[in-house]
Amino acid sequence: MVGTKFGANMFKIGLALICMILAAGSIDGPTGHEMNNWGQCFAFMFAGLFFGIWGLMTGAADEN
């Protein structure tokens, strides 16, 4: 059961990292297509923060 909890936490942390990368890409974009999409940037940022904090909290709770 330990592997399942570890895998679920790593999935949450992985989603957080992907959301943060997408947030940075939302305001920069590929060359020639620079659109400052601030709404999408903040949406991915908050989703990334949510998944990151959730993953860290559940990982800390599983240690007990």
pLDDT (0 to 100) of residue 63: 61
Answer yes or no: is 1 within a domain.
no
Residue-range definition of the domain harbouring residue 28? 8-63
Q: What is the pLDDT of residue 5?
A: 74
DSSP assigned state of 33: -
Tell me whether residue 3 is in a domain: no
As averages over each run of 10 residues, the pLDDT of the chain (64 residues) reads: 75 94 83 78 95 87 62
CA distances from 60 to 13, 37, 52, 54, 56 (A): 13, 35, 12, 10, 6
pLDDT, position 3: 66
Whole-angstrom distance, CA of residue 32 vs CA of residue 49 = 29
Q: Which two tokens stand for residue 32?
A: 């020639």
Number of structural domains (the chain) is 1
Amino acid 8: pLDDT: 84
